[in-house]
Amino acid sequence: MNKETYARRRAELVNQIGKNDIVIVATSPVKSRNGDVEYQFRPDSDFHYLSGFSEPEAVLVISPGRAQGEYVIFCREKDKLREMWDGRRVGLEGVIDTYGADDAFPIEDINDILPGLMEEKEKVFTTVGRYSDFDAQLLGWMNKIKQDKRLGKHAPYEFVDLNHILHEQRLIKRQDEIALMRKAGKMSAAGHARAMQVCRPGMYEYQVQAELECEFRKAGSPYNAYPSIVAGGKNACILHYTENEALLKDGDLLLIDAGAEFGCYAADISRTFPVNGKFSPEQRVLYDIVLEAQTAAFEFCSAGHGWNQPHEAAVKVISQGLLDEGLLRGSLEQVLETQSYAQFYMHRTGHWLGMDVHDVGDYQVDEVWRELEPGMVFTVEPGIYVNPADDVDERWHHIGIRIEDNILVRRDGYENLTEAAPKKPSDIEALMMSRR
């Protein structure tokens, strides 16, 4: 993305706040893992959306009408010694030249400078409640201004959650964002296909994970969008399983839920396939129901449909399928009314997708499910998970299946950003037959 993209995003945001207000957004803190080891740093999505800046220890300020320029970044200064040990820094001049800041200050000086930017302002739009240390700093700056009241200064009188306006903006993806998401989808699909090609009984889940993620990296994605779920056999019935250390057995299914991140945009794909390359009759029956549920949900993915319609369509197909196979009892109306399908399908059919895998944006407006609009991107991920129960025939036990794709709402329908990942049983079996 270029400087102009970020400038446009900031301008769009400024249009929605008052001329006496101020926006303050911090990037994510660096988290300690153990000893002198830190978790890999990932910038805060809101911060990155507005700045494109990826270094830790940074805060951005947008102060409409500020005489010396309204866009200010606090960041680390250049430092030869620290850069030799820890990596390059853009520095103060760099954020001005490369990232379009009007003004830049060392992050160490923020306590001295930021109160001055806040005084005389009315509302502070910020991501309150996200990072506790930063919240405490904000309150400290507020108090500092209040103490200076005698000098004629007045402190802002409201903190406003930035989420509401900024996240509505992030919800609708522009062409440049969609281009990144298409790439993330393609890279992720390549990883899933690779997993199918290498998987065989006797491998460990983490070994398939390594092949999958190697393909993400080879395709150009530096990080995963979230920790991969590589769940063989009964582990597939643990929705957010991430241990990934079990042996893969002949006759089991393998559920993989994994996505690459590219340019800070996520893909989120789930595929389920037989470890030995051939679905058993029971696996195939339930797989076909999930696939049919996804196809039914797709019918409601174009603009103008309600957010809940794909979910309702998927639930109906899954409920009917489970009734037909004797896993559920009663009429379809009863199953839907009592939600007895939730024994086997306990999550919703999707979520927004973007810079965050569970992306921002409201699902309801005035307590009504919102309408799908061009530029929205979301997942469609029906599943069936059979945990053992007395009223369920043993032959179904421990089967866990999820099929997940990423859908872009377009003016003329929808686009499946992840369709390159095989999911037709015949395609999966053919690909697995070709294993080397």
Q: Is residue 381 among the annotated active site residues?
A: yes
Sequence-ordered list of residues with C-beta below 8 angstroms from that of 401, at least 6 positions apart, any chain: 236, 253, 255, 272, 283, 286, 287, 290, 383, 384, 385
119, 261, 381, 405: residue in contact with ligand GLY (rule CB under 6 A): 381
Helix 309-324 vs helix 281-298: crossing angle, to nearest 10 = 150
User: Can you point out the beta strands (E) in 239-326?
Assistant: 253-258, 260-262, 265-266, 269-274
Q: Active-site residue 192, yes or no?
A: no
Which among 226, 235, 191 is positioned nearest to 209, based on CA atoms?
191
Residues 5-34 touching Mn ion, rule: CB under 5 A, are none
The single-letter DSSP state of residue 392 is: S
Examine the residue annotation and report whether 397 is marked as an active-site residue of this protein: no
**From the candidates 402, 405, 414, 429, which is the catalytic residue?**
402
By beta-carbon proximity to ligand GLY, the closer residue of 217 and 351 is 351
Please, which residue, 166 or 357, has the CB nearer to ligand GLY?
Answer: 357
Among residues 213, 404, 405, 429, the one annotated as catalytic is 404
- Is 358 an annotated catalytic residue? yes
Over the window 213 to 252, marking each residue x when it contacts Mn ion by CB under 5 A and - when it does not, the resulting string is ----------------------------------------
Q: CA–CA distance from 275 to each of 184, 212, 280, 388 (Å)?
A: 26, 15, 11, 21
Q: Got the DSSP string for 69-94?
A: -SEEEEEPPP-HHHHHHH----HHHH
18/227 with CB nearer ligand GLY: 227
- Measured in residues, the chain has a length of 436
Closer to Mn ion by CB, 266 or 428: give it.
Answer: 266
Min CB(257)–ligand GLY separation in Å: 5
Residues 6+ apart with CB under 8 A from 359: 170, 171, 266, 351, 352, 353, 377
Restricting to residues 373-432, name those near Mn ion by CB under 5 A: 379, 404
Distance separating alpha carbons of residues 376 and 386, to the nearest angstrom: 32
Asked if 268 is part of the footprint of ligand GLY (rule: CB under 6 A), the reply reads yes
Q: Which CB atom, from 163 or from 418, has the smaller least distance to ligand GLY? A: 418
347 catalytic? Reply is yes
Could you tell me the two tokens for 428? 């999966």
The contact mask relative to Mn ion for 258-297 (x = CB under 5 A, - = no) is ----------x-x---------------------------
Euclidean distance between the first and the last CA atom of the chain, given in angstroms as a whole number: 40
Site for ligand GLY in 341-370 (CB under 6 A): 351, 357
Looking at residues 212 to 231 of the shown chain, list those that interact with ligand GLY (rule: CB under 6 A): 226
The reply to whether 393 belongs to the active site is: no
How many chain residues interact with ligand GLY (CB under 6 A)? 7
* Residue ranges in 228-257 that form contacts with ligand GLY under rule CB under 6 A: 257
Beta carbon nearer to ligand GLY, 24 or 357: 357
Question: What whole-number distance in Å separates Cα of residue 88 and Cα of residue 96?
Answer: 16
At a CB cut-off of 8 Å and minimum separation 6, what does 155 contact?
118, 119, 142, 145, 146, 149
Answer yes or no: 385 catalytic. Answer: yes
By beta-carbon proximity to Mn ion, the closer residue of 44 and 381 is 381
Nearer to Mn ion, 21 or 405 (CB): 405
- What is the C-alpha to C-alpha distance for residues 362 and 347, in angstroms, rounded to an integer? 18
Longest dimension (CA), the chain: 80
- Gap between the Cα atoms of 386 and 337, Å rounded: 21
Which of Mn ion, ligand GLY, none does residue 66 bind (CB under 5 to 8 Å by kind)?
A: none
Instruction: Choose from Mn ion, ligand GLY, none: what does 226 bind? Cβ within 5-8 Å by kind.
Output: ligand GLY
- Mark 305-344 with x for binding to ligand GLY (rule: CB under 6 A) and - for no binding: ----------------------------------------
Q: Which does 41 bind (CB under 5 to 8 A by kind): Mn ion, ligand GLY, none?
A: none
* Alpha-carbon gap, residue 314 to 290, rounded angstroms: 8
One of 351, 370, 397, 398 is an active-site residue; which one?
Answer: 351
Residues that bind ligand GLY (CB under 6 A): 226, 257, 268, 351, 357, 381, 404
Q: Any idea which residues carry the catalytic annotation?
A: 36, 240, 257, 268, 347, 351, 358, 381, 385, 402, 404
Residues that bind Mn ion (CB under 5 A): 257, 268, 270, 379, 404
